[in-house]
Amino acid sequence: MNASQVGFLVLLVLPSLLVAGNPSLVNRLETIEETAEMVTSRGGKGIYVQVDHTDRGQVETLFERIRHEQDGRLDILVNDMTGDAYMEFKPFAEHSLEKGLKVLENGSLSHIITSHLGVPLIIENGKGLIVEVTDGINYELREFNFYYDLEKAINIRLAQSLAHQLRKHKIAVVALTPGMLRSEAMLGHFGVTEENWRDGIKHQRDFAYSETPFYIGKAVVALACDKRIMSKSGQALVSGKLAREYGFTDIDGTQPIWHYGM
């Protein structure tokens, strides 16, 4: 089952992707136009909009457009913006303060701005789902970068706090983490493609438990279709564990699971 089959209006806030003809902050060639085409090819209706989610004015314009074009309907909000484009793998004392603050601005402040302006639309629907994409389910230290660690912890707390405040509106809010994500960037890092990705295991054994971006997407759909979703509101969840609970698989038919503190 996909989101289009059950008639969801989903706003997916993606990391910095290229708009055709313009450079990406993370030097990737993939475009938001291509992402929208992927949604449409799988039965939905993909609509791409370039928005700086740290700019309140641009986000307000986005929700005004949703109100006008979609009759104000918003069922699911997925905050997946990240600050990785400014991350340096350096100790706190050596990391650029300017870049560090950008990590927090892109990776957490943007989530807060988007949720603040989008929640009223979801409240008007009478129910809904907000997903905070993060890394990890506990407050374990991500020692390789202070700012990244803080960003991900903030997003988990954001989900917990919003879940408490929005429960009366029947809006579920969860933090959701993938395992090791087999994204285009990760495939490129190991010098492999989706067709021969297992060759990357020789460089890092944990890559054997990696998953495609479709896996966490299926997790979002499963959560949205769960009539008892409010029982999970406020929790930090793992894509692989949800796959076993709801019975979905990654696109290759497997159910990889990353054991975050479990």
Q: Which residue has the higher pLDDT, 157 or 50?
A: 157
| Mean pLDDT along residues 92-114 | 94
Q: For position 104, what pLDDT does the model report?
A: 95
Percent of the chain clearing pLDDT 90 (strictly above): 68
Question: Tell me, what DSSP letter sits at residue 224?
Answer: H
256 within some domain? no
Looking at the structure, tell me whether residues 118 and 197 fall in a common domain. no
Looking at the structure, tell me whether residues 135 and 190 fall in a common domain. no
| Mean pLDDT along residues 19-43 | 76
Q: Is 144 exposed, middle or buried (0-12, 13-18, 19+ CB in 10 A)?
A: exposed
Looking at the structure, tell me whether residues 40 and 93 fall in a common domain. yes
Range of the domain at 227: 3-177+212-246
Looking at the structure, tell me whether residues 22 and 134 fall in a common domain. yes
Number of domains in the chain: 2
Looking at the structure, tell me whether residues 68 and 110 fall in a common domain. yes
Looking at the structure, tell me whether residues 165 and 204 fall in a common domain. no
In which band, very low, low, confident or very high, does the pLDDT at 139 lie, cut at 50, 70 and 90? confident
252 within some domain? no
Q: What is the mean pLDDT of the chain?
A: 89
Q: Any idea what the CATH number is for the domain that residue 147 is in?
A: 3.40.50.720
pLDDT at 110 exceeding the cut of 70: yes
Q: For position 21, what pLDDT does the model report?
A: 55
Q: Any idea what the Cα angle at residue 14 is, between residues 10 and 16, rounded to 5°?
A: 155
Cite the active site residues.
148
Contacts 24+ apart (CB under 8 A), 240-248: 240/179, 240/211, 240/215, 243/215, 243/218, 243/219, 246/219, 246/222, 248/218, 248/219, 248/222
pLDDT at 224 exceeding the cut of 90: yes
Handedness of CA 215, 220, 223, 224 (dihedral sign): negative
The count of residues in the chain is: 262
Looking at the structure, tell me whether residues 122 and 194 fall in a common domain. no
